[in-house]
Amino acid sequence: MTIFVETRAALTVRAAFDAAVKMRYPVFAVGKAGLGKTVALNWIAAQSGAAYCEVAQHTKAIRPMFLMLHDAYGVQKDSKHTYDLAKDCMNFLGARYGPTRPLLVDEYQNFTPTVLRELLHLQERCGFGLLLAGNTHRLAGTRRDIHAVDQIESRIGMRFEIGQPTREDCVRIGAEHNVEGADAYKAIVIYGENTSLRALCHLLQNCAAVTNGVGSIRLSRIETTLGVMSCGSDALKLLHERGNDLRRSA
Predicted local distance difference test score (pLDDT) of residue 204: 92
pLDDT band at 99; cut points 50, 70, 90? low
Q: How far apart are CA 101 and CA 131, in angstroms?
A: 12
Predicted local distance difference test score (pLDDT) of residue 45: 95
The answer to whether residue 247 scores a pLDDT higher than 50 is no
Predicted local distance difference test score (pLDDT) of residue 55: 93
Give the pLDDT confidence of 114-171 residue by residue, as tens digits: 888 899 999 999 989 999 999 865 544 445 555 666 667 767 878 999 988 899 999 9
| Short-list 131, 122, 50, 139, CA closest to 88 | 122
Predicted local distance difference test score (pLDDT) of residue 195: 87
Predicted local distance difference test score (pLDDT) of residue 151: 65
User: What is the arithmetic mean of pLDDT over 42-65?
Assistant: 91
Q: Check: CB of residue 53 under 8 Å from CB of residue 89.
A: no
Least confident of 45-59, 60-74, 126-140, 164-178: 126-140
pLDDT above 70: percentage of residues in the chain? 83
Partnered with residue 217 across adjacent β-strands are 179
User: 3-class SS at 130?
Assistant: strand
User: What is the arithmetic mean of pLDDT over 59-66?
Assistant: 88
- In which order are the strands placed within the sheet that holds 130-134? 51-54, 103-106, 130-134, 27-31, 158-162
Partnered with residue 105 across adjacent β-strands are 53, 132
The answer to whether residue 177 scores a pLDDT higher than 80 is yes
The answer to whether residue 11 scores a pLDDT higher than 50 is yes
Predicted local distance difference test score (pLDDT) of residue 94: 82
Domains of the chain listed by start with CATH number: 8-162 (3.40.50.300), 167-237 (1.10.8)
From residue 42, how far is each of 25, 37, 144, 236 by CA, in Å?
20, 9, 34, 33
25 Cβ neighbours under 8 A, 6+ residues apart = 130, 155, 156, 157, 158
91 Cβ neighbours under 8 A, 6+ residues apart = 97
From residue 175, how far is each of 182, 188, 250 by CA, in Å?
12, 11, 24
Give the pLDDT confidence of 186-245 residue by residue, as tens digits: 999 999 988 889 999 999 999 998 777 678 999 999 988 888 876 556 677 777 676 555
Partnered with residue 60 across adjacent β-strands are none
The answer to whether residue 15 scores a pLDDT higher than 70 is yes
Q: How far apart are CA 5 and CA 179, in angstroms?
A: 15
